Structure formats: structure tokens, C-alpha cells
Amino acid sequence: MSMSRFPMAEPMCLIENGSDGHMRVIPRALEVLAQVEQRVVVVAIVGLYRTGKSYLMNKLAGNRKGFALGATVQSKTKGIWMWCVPHPTKKDHTLVLLDTEGLGDVEKGDEKNDIWIFSLAVLLSSTLVYNSMGTINNDAIQRLHYVTELTEHIKVKSKKHDEDESTEFVRVFPSFVWTVRDFTLSLELNGKAITADQYLDNALVMKTGHSKTVLNYNMPRSCLRSFFPSRKCFVLERPASTEKMKQLSELSEAELEPSFVKQAEEFCHHIYTKSEIKTLTGGIPVTGRLLGNLAKVYVDTICSNKIPCLENAVQALSQIENAGAVERAVAHYKANMAERVAMPTETQEEFSQIHCAVEKEAVKIFTESSFKDENQKHQLLLMKALQEEYEALSNKNAQESKTVCKSIIKRVFQPLENQLSSGSYMSPGGYKKYCKDMQNFISQYKSEPGKGVKAEETLKEYLDGKKNTGETILAADQSLTEAEHQMEAERARCRAIEQERLATMEKTMIYEKMMRDQEQSYRENVEQLMKKMEEERKSAMDEHKRVLEAKLKEQNDLLQQGFKEKAELLQKEIDAVTQQNQKEQEESPSLFSSVLDNLGQAATFFLPGIAAKVGGIALSCVSRFFR
């Protein structure tokens, strides 16, 4: 979707938080997201109510107004609202802003609802902004207790046995940005100037010891450090006087405090340049359509009193997205073949060239949006559907050719038919005249353009229908001797054999081209599948690298803070990540070969033309990626 063509002028509710306490995804919002085929960078903001979250989101959208700004103690935002805007720095990307209702709203008084809103913000975003007021002290961190409850409200894997999955959160959680509003302190520590990031890191330093007080102190800090390895902090001074704050959305930048304007710009620049696209497990990029489906899967799970599971969500999404990818690819093929093919085509080669070009586009549409296609089930469905469409169009092209050829024959041979009706050939010397006229009309027919792929077969059928007529005229021609009768009969037989040969050759050429097209179809699917698998392999490697770097950084911090035992436990996780990465790299070539073998064996049922070449094509493709 091009946001310039489909502008979203203002935010809209994505997830409604009903008065009955139940959440639901708004269908109209899903329709809007379904149009966003670009990859999305998703920024969600959370925090206590009445802390100015909406102002920052409007700033990111490049507008003064949009998300509701409240000038009273009453919270304005309910549920989760979204605003899709063109990404300011990433071409062909869409920035999706999610503004959440305030946590701890006294009017709502529903702690359970708060943790689900917080969990959804984590699950849907690629960058999570936590907005607070004043300072980052122990009280502020303890108020962020929602992060300690994520292990009870989010599951990574669908395994049944109990196991702490918090170590897996680093793979799937967004980057974390803490914005501190109305900040009035000096950024100093022990008399030395520090950055906002150092201010946050110092606030997250844990205490040694095992008392209940120490454990309670460390718990939210440990979770923030473990779950969100990528952390950033911005401090923003008060934007204006108390009176002006009531009309904040009406104020120009010139009416705001210069320091606040600068700090807000630095925050926006960081979000624009550092926030990554939203991905699923394994580095699978998320589009707007996928984000909408993801939101619906999570909300439906929560409403059924279950815990959202990322593995189950990805599996459910893959089924939805892959089935939709097949539909879109087939629809593209149908529409573009109808637009580009002028039937009948002059040759089967002309038809095939258009088919191969359009099929390549269709396979690309499928490949770009499909993921986790178990046993290539949906790719096989696509291959079969495209083959059926191709055969149907080939047959239609042939029928169109026959229709045109019959029309040309009727027009070209009409004088001959008139002569036959008048009986002018039924006289001495009439047979030779008949043969001469017939050859003239055949030559005229063959010179006619636009006959298509069934020119010879249609002509053969017409000439076969005139066989008895020719024999009757020959028998009635008394000017010929017996020997001449036999000679003319032999010539007629030879002409019939030659026309049979031409029609057969025409049919064979069509068949052979269709078989080559089947091979090309399989090759195109294999090449695009290999490219897709290689991209997924690299994305998985990047994810492993990111997780490993995060755990190594956390281990180093723990050692510096004197937590030797925790650092040693973390080393086991680091070793497990390293071993898993090595194992996946070693298994990649055999996995690729196995996938292609299964694809080839299944495809032979509806692409018989590839049976003898499956292994060779697969081998050449695998070697291309691993040489």
C-alpha cells in the first residue's frame, strides 16, 4: 500500500476495550492494515495515564493533533489506537504508531486489563516506549511491575511441560525506550556529567543479597535487563507553563521551551533511524496485513482466557497468510494472462513466453508473503493451481484458434463450395480443375494471419471432410484413363498423409512446449524457494547473533556488578545459543535438499514433464547456494 495514495488522516481504534471488560479488534482497522503490503516499523507507547504519551506519538506522526490529548485528569485513550504513516527515513516502509490507554487509571481500576494492554504492546511492537513522569527512581521502577508479570501472560513455545521461557524473550521482544517527562534534575552521577542512557543503566543496577527486600528490589530490574537487551533513555523537560499545557496541541514549536523541542526531536530521530521492522520468530518480516492478523490472533486468544503463545500465533498466521498468498498469486496470474494474452496467439511459443513471465510474478507474490510453509503444502497448491490455469488457458487458446481458422476456411473456401454446389466440377477435366482450385485456396488460407496454434489441424479436418467429395469427382471424370485415375488417387492419398504429418507435428510442438513449460515452472518455484530459504537462514543467523550479543553484554554487566553466579548461569544460555546456531548451519544443506526432494516428488503428480529432471534441477540449485 502506498500511504500517499491511501493516506490515513487520523488515528483509529485498533483494539477496543469495551465497557464489559472484553477486548475486540475493530474490523475497519484490519481492513486498513490489509492494504499495507509494505514492511512495518511498529512503535507502541505505554505508561501511566495522563503522562503525555499521545503528544509524543503525534510528534512521531509529524502532526500536532491526532491521538487525543487530555487537559484534565481523565484518561482520553481507551484500548489501543493506531496511526499508519509513511516512514520518514525508510523508503517503502510504513510506520505504525500504537497509542495505548493509560496504565493504572483510577476510573478503570482493572489491573488485569492493564497487564493485557501492556502485553499486547510488547507483542505487537518492534519498539516499546515507556513514558513516565519526574525521575527514574525505585518507585518509578516498581510501578513498572507489569514487566515482571510478562512470563505469566506470554508464552514463546507451545510445549506442555512447565519451563521458564524468560530466556527466550530476548529473541522476540522489542527494543525498549524509556522517556522521562518533566525532568528537572541535572544528569550527574558522583559529581560527573552522565548521559540519559547512563542514567537509566545506573537506575537498573541490582543489589547483592538474598533477602526478600533485595529480591523485590531486583526483580523488575532483572526483567528489564533480561527481556529488553536494547535499551535507550530520553529525558524531556517540561514543554511549557502549566496554563499553556492545557492547550498543548494548539501550541507552535516557537511557543514551547527550546530545550524540550530539541529533546523531542532527538527522540523522534532515534525512533526514525534506529527502530527496526517488526519481525516474527526467525526474523520473518511483518507487513501491515500480517500485523492485523497478528493482533486478531492475540486478542482472540486473550478473550478465550488463554495465554498468547508466539509459536502458536506464528503457526496460525502462516496458515492464514500462506492461503492468502496462494489466492493473491493465482488472482494475479488470471488477471494478467487475461490482460496480456490476445487469443489466439500466433504460436505456442508466444503464449508460453507470456505465461512464464506472469507465472514468475505470481510465484514471487507468493514467495514474498508466505512463511513457514510446512512441507511446502501451499507452494504445491500454488503450483497445481497455476498449472491447471495454464492448461485451461492453453485449451482456450487452441479453441480460439480453431474458431478463427474455421471462420477463415469458410470465407476462403466459399468459392470452392459454390462451385461444388453448382456441379461445375462434375464434367470431363473437372477433377484437375478441382485439385488446382483446392491448392490455390489452401495456399490462400495458409497466407492468412492470425490463425493461431491449430491452423494445420483445422485445415486437416476440413480436407478430411472433402475426401469423399474429391473421390466422387475423380470417379466421374471420364477424361482420365484408368492409370491416371490410380495416379490421382495416390496423389490425393499422399496429400492427405502430408497434411496428417503437419497436423501431428503441430500437436507435438504444442505438447513439447507445454512439457518444457512444466520444467520451467518447477525450476522457477525451486529457485525462488531456495532464495527464500537462504534469506530465512540469514535472518535466523542475524537473530542468533543479536541474542548472543545481548546475552554477552548482560553477562559482562552482571560480572561487573558482582553477580558471579548469575553470570555463570547465563553462560549456559550463551553456550546453548551458540550450539543451536552451529547445528542449524551444519544441517542447512541437507535440509535444503530434503525440502526440494519432497517438493519435486509431490510436483510430479501434476507436472509429469519434470519427472526425469527433478533431481538435477534440485542439485544445481542447492550447489549454487552452498558452493
C-alpha span between 317 and 311 (Å, rounded): 10
Q: In what order do the strands lie in the sheet with 39-47?
A: 23-25, 12-17, 80-86, 93-100, 39-47, 127-133, 175-181, 231-235
C-alpha span between 18 and 116 (Å, rounded): 13
Those residues whose C-beta lies under 8 Å from the C-beta of residue 589, and which sit 6 or more positions away, are 622, 626
Those residues whose C-beta lies under 8 Å from the C-beta of residue 524, and which sit 6 or more positions away, are 356, 359, 360, 363
Q: Of 154, 45, 155, nearest to 100 (Cα)?
A: 45
pLDDT value at residue 72: 36
pLDDT value at residue 497: 97
pLDDT value at residue 515: 92
Those residues whose C-beta lies under 8 Å from the C-beta of residue 537, and which sit 6 or more positions away, are 584, 588
Q: Of 71, 73, 131, nearest to 98 (Cα)?
A: 131
C-alpha span between 102 and 113 (Å, rounded): 11
Q: Of 544, 559, 553, nearest to 226 (Cα)?
A: 553
Kindly give the parts of the chain with pLDDT less than 70.
1-7, 50-51, 69-77, 104-111, 160-166, 241-250, 252, 612, 614-627
C-alpha span between 349 and 314 (Å, rounded): 42
Q: Which helix (H) or strand (E) holds 166?
A: none
C-alpha span between 7 and 494 (Å, rounded): 71
Phi/psi for 561 (5° steps) reads: -90, 0
Per the document, the length of the chain is 627
Contact criterion met (CB below 8 Å) for 404 and 459: no
Those residues whose C-beta lies under 8 Å from the C-beta of residue 291, and which sit 6 or more positions away, are 33, 36, 40, 42, 96, 124, 278
pLDDT value at residue 617: 61
> What angle (nearest 5°) sits at the alpha carbon of residue 108, between those of residues 102 and 109?
100
Instruction: Tell me the domains of the chain and their CATH numbers.
Output: 12-308 (3.40.50.300)
Q: Which helix (H) or strand (E) holds 175?
A: strand 175-181
C-alpha span between 568 and 558 (Å, rounded): 10
DSSP one-letter string for 20-73: TS-EEE-HHHHHHHHT--SEEEEEEEEEBTTSSHHHHHHHHHT-SSSSPPPSSS
Record the cell numbers describing residue 398, joined without a space.
487452441
Q: What is the pLDDT of residues 592-623, one digit of tens each?
A: 778 888 888 888 888 888 776 766 666 566 55
Contact criterion met (CB below 8 Å) for 154 and 306: no
C-alpha span between 286 and 445 (Å, rounded): 58
Peptide bond preceding 308 in cis form (omega within 30 of 0): no
SS3 for 236?
A: coil
C-alpha span between 262 and 247 (Å, rounded): 20
What angle in degrees, to the nearest 10, is found between the helix axes of 414-422 and 430-447?
160
pLDDT value at residue 246: 58
Residue 170 CB coordination number (10 Å): 21
Exposed e or buried b per residue across 333-346, where buried means at least 16 C-beta atoms within 10 angstroms of its C-beta:
bbebbeeebebbbe
Contact criterion met (CB below 8 Å) for 371 and 533: no
Q: Of 394, 396, 391, 333, nearest to 359 (Cα)?
A: 333
pLDDT value at residue 166: 66
pLDDT value at residue 9: 85
